[in-house]
Amino acid sequence: MVGMTTTAAPATTAPVVGFDQVTKTYGSVRAVDGLSLRLYPGETVALLGPNGAGKSTTLDLLLGLKPADSGAVSLFGTGPREAIVAGRVGAMLQSGGLMDGVTVAELVRLACSLHPRPYPVSDVLARAGIAQIADRKVDKLSGGQAQRVRFALATAGDSDLIILDEPTTGMDVTARQAFWATMREQADQGRTVLFATHYLEEADAIADRVLVLHRGRLLADGTAAEIKAKAGARRVSFDLEGEVDETALRGLPFLTSLTVSNSGSAAGSGQTVRIQSTDADATVHALYGLGVYPRNLEVAGLGLEQAFVAITAAEEAKQS
Ligand SMILES: Nc1ncnc2c1ncn2[C@@H]1O[C@H](COP(=O)(O)OP(=O)(O)OP(=O)(O)O)[C@@H](O)[C@H]1O
């Protein structure tokens, strides 16, 4: 694990969320497996993991929607139920939650009336970008509009912790940008935002802390930069003219992946080679040893998506 001490608030700050050795099983599946973690005020935390990694189960445990088999879950030093009744948590889950037959405004009004510290209904509608569809029945909404309504329900009042499960799925680009701008405001005001996502570019851009779950366990915990560094590989790309000897390239030392594609150059015969290497210096040195002349050579760190794939693939390989 990386970065446990770099992103967390000082040890004197009381955690917003505490998981201590939490396990949840479904039959033989360990959806959450001895998970321990702390989240602190003002953190924006992305929860990443492949399908079935345990992200939704973790959020359900956090919200008290499912009981843990063992271990302890705490919110603001109390149990999830007490924290939710006190209005300290706003949540936007993947599906469900929209009552058929009522209008958007009616549903938002209901959510506001249930919150101990509600915002004005008109503000909630405007912030979620749904004022113009306020009179529409919620069962007549598009997928993206329904997501905006869920977002409105999660921000109906002044909560200290906002939990979002794949919040931008189905939203168009404009809605996504507006959504994250609002979430940034919420975090800047000291709220903790925890979101599960499959959009790694969102995690990279938004989160100041990234958790990588795999088979119910925490594989990595740190800033996006730390996660990228943890993957321990770099990207090398270059163009080659003429026929490319892929077998020779595959023999390069420290190579973890290789793709060759047409470079689309006007000359027509060029190929672009993209490599991942755990020792880029040694790989490039050996590349020149092959007697080729690479053009446009670039060496860069991994993106968060590539780092995520590398970390989870390495774990899969270890376990198989
Ligand atoms: N109600 C349930 N009954 C049985 N198994 C379940 C149940 N809910 C989840 N699981 C299993 O627990 C594991 C974790 O599921 P979970 O939904 O938490 O993962 P996830 O990381 O949110 O996945 P995804 O990215 O696909 O949404 C999976 O193997 C899943 O099949």
Looking up residue 48, the CATH number of its domain turns out to be 3.40.50.300
Ligand 1 probe mutation, 56, 166, 211, 219, most atoms within 8 A of CB: 56
Kindly give, in sequence order, each residue whose CB lies less than 8 Å from that of residue 247, ignoring residues fewer than 6 positions away: none
Provide the pLDDT for residue 221.
94
The residues lining ligand 1, judged by C-beta closer than 6 Å to any ligand atom, are 26, 29, 31, 49, 51-57
> Does one domain contain both 138 and 40?
yes
> Does one domain contain both 49 and 116?
yes
Instruction: Determine, yes or no, domain membership for 77.
Output: yes
**Helix, strand or coil, per DSSP, at residue 117:** coil
Provide the pLDDT for residue 265.
59
Q: Round to whole Å and give the CA distance between 230 and 308.
A: 10
> Does one domain contain both 183 and 282?
no
Ligand 1 atom closest to the CA of 196, numbered from 1: 22
At which of 192, 209, 229 does a domain end? 229
> Does one domain contain both 24 and 127?
yes
Domain count for the chain: 2
Provide the pLDDT for residue 131.
95
At which of 229, 250, 283 does a domain end? 229
> Does one domain contain both 62 and 83?
yes
How big, in percent rounded to 5, are the helix, strand and coil portions of the chain? 35, 30, 35
Could you identify the residue written with the tokens 């880029």?
A: 280
Q: Which residue has the least CA distance to atom 28 on ligand 1?
A: 52
Provide the pLDDT for residue 6.
44
Instruction: Determine, yes or no, domain membership for 153.
Output: yes
Instruction: Determine, yes or no, domain membership for 316.
Output: no
In which domain, by residue range, is 112 found?
17-229
Query: What tens-digit pLDDT sequence spans the chain (320 residues)?
Result: 444 444 445 556 789 999 999 999 999 999 999 999 999 999 999 999 999 999 999 999 999 989 999 999 999 999 999 998 888 999 888 766 677 889 999 999 999 998 999 999 999 999 898 999 999 999 889 888 998 999 999 999 999 999 999 988 888 888 888 889 888 888 888 899 999 998 888 899 899 999 999 999 999 999 998 998 888 889 999 999 887 889 999 999 999 889 999 876 555 568 999 999 989 999 999 999 998 889 999 999 888 888 888 888 888 888 77
